[in-house]
Amino acid sequence: GNYDKAIDLLARHHFHIWEGGGRIHNVYVDTYLLRGQEHFDGRRYREALKDYEAALDYPENLEVGRPSHGGRASQVYYYIGTVHEALGEVKKAKESYERSVFFKRGWSELSYYQGLAFRKLGRIEEAKQIFEGLLNFGKKRVEAAPSMDFFAKFGERQSARVRRANAHYLLGLGYLGMFKKDEARREFKEALDLNINHLGAKQQLLRMSD
């Protein structure tokens, strides 16, 4: 992806809340994480660290305040931990993983990264509980989806598809955490069939094919 161009655009434009401020901050985080992953894969660890740390920011021009629940910090701190680990900075890596698991949230994509961080900390049972929880939550959401679709008004059908895609994505993350790659791949593909723009599912499939 052309991340440099996107980052430049995000830095130069002043966004207003009515332009979807919350969503634009997600775009900001995604862009820095994706460029950071490119650096990481190329073993440019210092550059990766810079991008991951930037993903923790809430720039004024985006008009989004730092949420009390940590926003996507659990995900970002997991990635920061992987860089410190690659650089042999064991103490810093451990601190980052501990920060990742600090926030208590409902079931979401962030839970997956907390599960990975628990595993890195050697807290295997807690990691397993998270991945099993994601599977249970995802299954419930998938089972509830047909009735939700049936009652959705015509204009809401699209958002119902998006919700179903997300349920399959969470299932995929649960399977991936349990090392069940074939099942994970199937769920990510299902998520993309329902929502072609699902960035998480797209990225996971790309990384699985590397």
Residue 13: which CATH number? 1.25.40.10
Residue 24, domain member (yes or no): yes
Whether residue 206 sits in one domain with residue 156: yes
- Quick one: pLDDT band at residue 75, thresholds 50, 70, 90? very high
Whether residue 143 sits in one domain with residue 89: no
Nearest to 48 by CA among 99, 95, 73, 82: 82
Whether residue 10 sits in one domain with residue 101: yes
pTM for this model (two decimals): 0.86
Whether residue 206 sits in one domain with residue 149: yes
Residue 169, domain member (yes or no): yes
Residues 80-114 have pLDDT tens digits of 999 999 999 999 999 999 999 998 888 999 999 99
What CATH number corresponds to the domain at position 142? Answer: 1.25.40
pLDDT at 127: 98
Whether residue 155 sits in one domain with residue 74: no
Separation CA 58–CA 189 (nearest Å): 32
Separation CA 149–CA 160 (nearest Å): 6
- Quick one: pLDDT band at residue 154, thresholds 50, 70, 90? low
Residue 112, domain member (yes or no): no
- Quick one: pLDDT band at residue 167, thresholds 50, 70, 90? very high
Domain residues for the domain of 146 are 124-210
Whether residue 89 sits in one domain with residue 1: yes
Q: Please count the structural domains in the chain.
A: 2
Residue 164, domain member (yes or no): yes
pLDDT at 153: 56
Residue 115, domain member (yes or no): no
Whether residue 92 sits in one domain with residue 15: yes
pLDDT at 19: 52
pLDDT at 57: 85
Which distant-in-sequence residues (6+ apart) come within 8 Å of 159 by Cβ?
152
List the single range of 17-21, 37-41, 183-187 with lowest mean pLDDT: 17-21
Separation CA 3–CA 5 (nearest Å): 5
